[in-house]
Amino acid sequence: MLFLTESDVRELLPIEKAVELMEAVFRRLSAGESLNQPRRRLVLPTGSTLHYMAGADGLYFGTKVYSTHPKHGANFFFLLYSAADAKPLAMIEANYLGQIRTGAASGYATKLLARPDASKVGIIGSGFQACTQLAAMRVARPIEQARVWSRSPEKRAAFARQHGAIAVDTAEEAVRDADIVVTATNSKEPVLDASWISPGAHVNAMGSNRADRRELPAELILRAGLIAVDSIEQAKMESGDLLLALPPEKWAEHHVVELKDVSGRPGANGITIFKSNGIAVEDVVSAGHVYEAAQRANKGVVR
């Protein structure tokens, strides 16, 4: 079995390739060729939590397992197996794997749902996930301007310097008049006002995957012309952005659909949303690529 580190993943999985992989795997999900099981969580009285999710795609199947603690951080691993004979193929450190596949899924959703001339991005959040979100937006559209706001002036200024963005003083300044909006926070409550979002804008909301947390206000959910999720089954368990605005039995009438079933924008002036939770099949296709690339490049350690 091959062991691959975070640095191996960074080297072997560029954002452009990751967006291509997301497009391919969602097409296979649409065709019924890939399998996905939602995330489950085992919560301990100590505050420690074990998260696990599984999927299958093509030659591979596997599971991502990670532990978290509010005071001590997170530890991510992906276990990759051969679909043909169930043999273990690789154990991959998966912190960056999750980061880049999450950004890439937003990139693919943006390719489908943002206006073709979208060129201005507004980002709320400057932490772990924001950098790959911005990188994926630049793959999806010819971005000319990126504005970023987060609660820490120092962190948003550092993010702007590192990623070629403009640090602004308020969340409203970041997203008002933006063609594409990204929320990448750990907030429990909405981080923007629906009135700040322009007609025709596309929103990627990826910070929350808990039923009791949300980044988007109910008003924006109700205004949207189309809301794509990576998995309806998982969204019913985790998408606080939707669950706190609408009961699941009303999702269909508000045009909540799976990303695999989206072919394009519903209209030029409608607001579209991709509510990302992150699903296991995204990890499987990413891990499969990293494993194959590692073999070609003679990377990793055999154990």
pLDDT 10s digits, 179-190: 999 999 989 999
What is the arithmetic mean of pLDDT over 165-189?
A: 97
* Count of alpha carbons within 13 angstroms of residue 54, beta-carbon side: 5
CATH topology of domain 2-98+280-302: ornithine cyclodeaminase, domain 1 (3.30.1780)
pTM of the model: 0.96
DSSP 43: E
Three-class SS of residue 168?
A: coil
Domain with CATH 3.40.50.720 in the chain: 110-275
pLDDT 10s digits, 48-68: 999 999 999 999 999 999 999
In contact, 217 and 190? CB cutoff 8 Å: yes
Q: Give CATH for domain 110-275.
A: 3.40.50.720
Q: Which amino acid is at 116?
A: P
Three-class SS of residue 120?
A: strand
How far apart are alpha carbons 232 and 48 in whole angstroms? 27
What is the arithmetic mean of pLDDT over 59-83?
A: 97
pLDDT 10s digits, 202-214: 999 998 888 999 9
Q: What sign has the CA pseudo-torsion 137, 27, 245, 219?
A: positive
Domain with CATH 3.30.1780.10 in the chain: 2-98+280-302
| Least reliable range by pLDDT among 20-29, 163-172, 190-199, 261-270 | 261-270
How far apart are alpha carbons 138 and 145 in whole angstroms? 10
How far apart are alpha carbons 80 and 285 in whole angstroms? 10
Looking up tokens 């043909």 gives 84
